[in-house]
Amino acid sequence: MKRPTIVFLVNGGPGSAMDVRARSFAERLSGDFRIEIAYRTSNKIAAVFRFFWFLLRVRPVVCYVFDMAFSGVIAAGGFQFIARCPMIIDTGDAIYELSRNSGRGCVALWLTWLLEKFALSFAHGIVVRSHPHQELLQGLKITADVIPDGVDTNQFKPSEEEAFRREHDLDECTVIGVLGSLIWNPRSQVSYGSELIEVIDQLRHLPVKGLIIGDGTGLSIL
């Protein structure tokens, strides 16, 4: 018996965080469905057409979009209108509020609002990654399911890093670390990692050190 096909549109490249999530889902679903994955290229406009052509060629029963981003949402939404293919949006952010708090310009904010409005209005299903996000959408009369991000515990597990500890003078202390994009927000005057510095300042009397791994406009300020 031929298995139904689901297309995953990943708003990111191979190896990205969304790729890891998509492949994890694909592994769980592969017994009942044939999963086809398409990735966004650096040119977001061109990616819309590539995604759309991919959907026309594969003709899935469901299109699942990873991240509420322009390329995947527009391609899946357009295909839904001509092929009656249900669209599911998987998002980790309230993208309009995130953009507003990041200090983006008026035009960019307006376009982000339109994208979010379109996605939430026309998707057959919404998947979020936290219960507070689900509750936020419930307040807007929008039903969403929660599938949290997870990790492969065989790959990500505690290990001894003695050379790294010695190099950064981390021996004989507890280390609290964060890893991510250190993008400075001029509006709120913070960056990812700011909270760690505040915590370490409160723990000066204890053998605790902070470790920030990442790069971006906030690095030098931190």
Q: What is the pLDDT of residues 81-129, one digit of tens each?
A: 999 999 999 999 888 888 887 777 889 889 999 999 999 999 999 999 9
Tell me the per-residue pLDDT of 12-61, one tens digit each, with 9 for 90 and over: 889 888 898 999 999 999 889 999 999 998 888 999 999 999 999 999 99
Are 13 and 109 within one domain? Answer: yes
CA-CA distances (angstroms) from residue 152 to 13, 149, 155, 214?
A: 20, 11, 5, 21
* 151: in domain: no
Domain that holds residue 167: 162-215
Tokens of 68: 């509420």
Q: Tell me, yes or no, whether 99 and 169 share the same domain.
A: no
Domain for residue 222, yes or no? no
The model's confidence at residue 199, banded by pLDDT at 50, 70 and 90, is: very high
Same domain membership, residue 205 and residue 171: yes
Same domain, 14 and 45: yes
CATH number of the domain bearing residue 77 = 3.40.50.2000
Number of domains in the chain: 2
Residue 148: per-residue pLDDT: 92
Domain contains 152: no
pLDDT in tens, 50-77: 999 999 999 999 999 999 999 999 999 9
Residues 47 and 41: their CA atoms lie apart, in Å, by 6
| Number of other CB atoms surrounding residue 100 within 10 Å | 15
Q: Would you state the pLDDT for residue 86?
A: 96
Whether residue 63 is found in the same domain as residue 125: yes
The answer to whether residues 38 and 114 belong to one domain is: yes
Question: Would you state the structure tokens that stand for residue 204, as one six-digit string?
Answer: 């000066």
Q: Are residues 113 and 179 in the same domain?
A: no
Nearest-Å Rg of the Cα atoms of the chain is 21
In the chain, which residue ranges form alpha helices assigned H by DSSP?
17-29, 44-58, 70-83, 95-101, 106-122, 131-139, 162-167, 194-202
The tokens 């952010």 sit on which residue? 93
Whether residue 154 lies inside any domain: the answer is no
Last residue of a domain, one of 115, 146, 177: 146
Give me the pLDDT at residue 112, please: 92
d(CA 88, CA 122): 9
> Does pTM top 0.85 for this prediction?
no
Residues 166 and 84 in one domain: no
Closest C-alpha among 129, 145, 123, 148 to residue 62: 123
CA angle in degrees (0–180, nearest 5) for 181-187-188: 70
